[in-house]
Amino acid sequence: MTMQVRQETGESSQTVADLPSVLYTRLRTAGLEHIAAKLDDGDRLELADGLQLFECSDLLAVGWLANREREKRHADRTYFNHNIRIEATNVCVASCLFCAFARLQPGDTGAYTLSLDQVWDKLRVRADQALTEVHVVNGLHPDLPFAYYLELLRGFKRIRPDVHLKCFTAVEIAFFADLYGRTDEQVLRELMAAGLDSLPGGGAEVFAERVRRKICHDKCGADRYLDIHRTAHRLGMRTNVTMLYGHIETHEERVDHMLRARALQDETAGFQAFIPLAFHPDNNQMRKLPAPTAAETLRVHAVARLMLDNVPHIKAFWIATGVETAQTALWFGVDDLDGTVQEEQIYHMAGARTPEALTTEDISGLIRVAGRDPIERDTLYNVVTQH
Ligand code: V47
């Protein structure tokens, strides 16, 4: 076995013979020796390896392997961006059991739909901020015309032509296609012509049919979600992919989810980041379930880093994981913390107790305190500022 280990500098490497014996013994005792060897040899991890990583009792050994992969790619570099999150409407015809945000009908208590001016104002009032990204996620509204979404994008570009528009999940794209009588590709092309720059990763939940049938039966399925990302990549856009974990899914379904994302990435290389999303149980139809623990969160991010050898970034969405766990995850495979966010609602309505926004100084400070180097990036991972 040749176990190559890159040091934190990313410059030197060592074989298993050079590893401190205590570390080698620990990996062997954890039963992870052969997974370490596969990683060294550039062999891919498969379903059985992923299951073993989820079931291994030594979380630190799993984390150590994930951290080694993280440092090979990024050394200490840790990315975040200066973004704003906008949810223009929470009216949604889908009935996902985990969702605390959606309201079925326009007149229902708490239902809202912002006018275009109200949406644009969210950007206008931040004219003094060096924002680089607007991230839009909406409910599936049955009555808005397609022109609303096209105009929303055009208006953002009029106000801030420099800002990257990461808008509409694949689930929304599928909904638009069905509602407005277009193909998925036509919808993407029209939105791109109006200013769309990339797609966020929302709506993936868990790809396994068993899980989708139970928690999100009436929205776009896994194959269509992946096909929309495939099309977006072909049209030249980059996208992200998420996984909602910590509810009814099995370890096998988590690994299967990662492998399906990896297979598409082999085809297109269009995913920038994989983002595990921690389930929040307040105010939704799965409220009897406990939230995932910090240990589970660290493990999911670590296993994602190890399985998704072809996806450049593993992102911890600090709103979902909590700030402290996101910081710790920087030593469990994570190299990205999303962004300043501002005005997030989906998680806060589901019980998140994280702040609603962090400044770029807050984020770079918490990265530095965790022992990593903060880098403010734009959506496409170009460096904006090396803090
Ligand atoms: O798809 C909804 C999730 C997602 C709950 O692409 C919930 O950069 C946990 O996708 N508990 C939307 N999760 C958010 C999202 C996202 C977040 C950050 C970055 C990016 C990106 C994308 O939120 C939904 C769903 O999976 N969600 N309700 C809940 N109660």
163 with 231, same domain?
Answer: yes
Q: Which domain holds residue 13?
A: 2-74
Structure tokens at 314: 């593993």
Total number of residues shown for the chain: 387
95, 185: one domain: yes
CATH number at residue 103: 3.20.20.70
| Contact between 374 and 387 (Cβ < 8 Å) | yes
For ligand 1, is residue 275 a contact (CB within 6 Å)?
yes
Judge if 136 and 118 occupy the same domain. yes
Whether residues 43 and 157 fall in one domain: no
Residues 113 and 180 in one domain: yes
240 and 136 fall within a common domain: yes
User: Of all atoms in ligand 1, which is nearest to the CA of residue 100?
Assistant: 30
List CB contacts of 67: < 8 A, sequence separation 6 or more. 302, 331, 332, 333
Kindly state whether residues 70 and 84 are assigned to the same domain: no
How many C-beta atoms surround the C-beta of residue 32 within 10 A? Answer: 22
Instruction: Show which of 74, 104, 130 is a domain's final residue.
Output: 74
Residue recorded with tokens 């029209």: 190
With a CB cutoff of 8 Å and minimum separation 6, the contacts of 86 are 119, 122, 134, 135, 136, 343
What residues contact residue 228 under an 8 Å CB cut-off, 6+ apart? 170, 173, 174, 184, 188, 199, 220
Domain end point (choices 74, 106, 132):
74
Task: Report the first-to-last Cα separation within the chain, whole angstroms.
Answer: 39
**Is the domain of 6 the same as that of 82?**
no
Q: Is-contact 367 374, C-beta < 8 A?
A: yes
Claim to verify: residue 184 and residue 36 sit in the same structural domain:
no
Which of 74, 104, 119 marks a domain boundary?
74
Tell which atom from ligand 1 comes closest to the C-alpha of 101: 28
Same domain membership, residue 160 and residue 106? yes
Q: Could you give the CA distance from residue 15 to residue 227 in angstroms, rounded to a whole number?
A: 41
The pLDDT of residue 8 is 38
Q: Is 317 in the pocket of ligand 1 (CB under 6 A)?
A: yes
CA of 72 from ligand 1 middle (Å) equals: 28
- 5-6 vs 13-14, strand pairing mode: antiparallel
Number of domains observed in the structure of the chain: 2
Q: Which residue positions in the chain have pLDDT lower than 50?
A: 1-12
Ligand 1, pocket-test mutation among 199, 241, 277, 342, most atoms within 8 A of CB: 277
249 and 318 both lie in a single domain: yes
The pLDDT value given to residue 11? 39
322 and 380 in a single domain? The answer is yes
Q: How far apart are CA 360 and CA 374, in angstroms?
A: 10
pLDDT reported for residue 16 = 58
3-state secondary structure of 19: coil
Picking from 75, 9, 136, 73, the residue whose alpha carbon sits closest to that of residue 273 is 73
Residue with tokens 């992969």: 69
Task: Report whether residue 202 contacts ligand 1, using a CB cutoff of 6 Å.
Answer: yes
